[in-house]
Structure 1
Amino acid sequence: MAGKYEIFADEAGGYRFRLKASNGDIAVNSETYKTRTSLDQGLERFRKNAATDKVKDLTQGP
């Protein structure tokens, strides 16, 4: 089973999403969005950017 995104309201009354791995562990927690529309836009940007296979290893020298 692949991971899944969950959308939820946080304690401050905002909206957040998280990505849960197939084993149930939370892999990503988003920032708080004030509106559902801004959350939807942020989630779409995240999903688009997460589809890249590029990884920059910052532990290696220049």
Structure 2
Amino acid sequence: MAGKFELYQDKAGEFRFRLVASNGQTIAVSEGYKAKASALNGIESVKTNAPTASIEDKTT
């Protein structure tokens, strides 16, 4: 099974999404959005931009 995005409302009523791996582990959590459409746009942005995202190591 592939990973999935879960869209939900937090306790403050804001819309958020999380990216969950096929093993059930949460990989990433979004910021809070006032509108559901904005959260859905955030998901689409991750889908579009993540394959080409670079890794910036700031540990050194």
Q: TM-score, normalised by structure 1?
A: 0.82
Which residues of structure 1 form unaligned runs of 5+?
Answer: none
- Percent identity over paired residues: 47
CA-based RMSD of the aligned residues comes to 1.4
- Measure, in 1, the Cα distance between the counterparts of 2:19 and 2:28: 5
Give the direction of change, closer, same or farther, for the CA distance of 1:45–1:53 in structure 2 (3 Å limit).
closer
Structure 2: state its 5+ residue gaps.
none
Q: TM-score, normalised by structure 2?
A: 0.84
Match for residue 47 of structure 1?
Answer: 47
Question: What one-letter code is carried by the residue in structure 2 that aligns with 1:10?
Answer: D
Runs of 4 or more consecutive aligned structure 1 residues displaced over 4 Å after TM superposition: none
Which structure's CA Rg is the greater one?
Answer: 1
Which amino acid letter does the alignment assign opposite residue 46 of structure 1? V
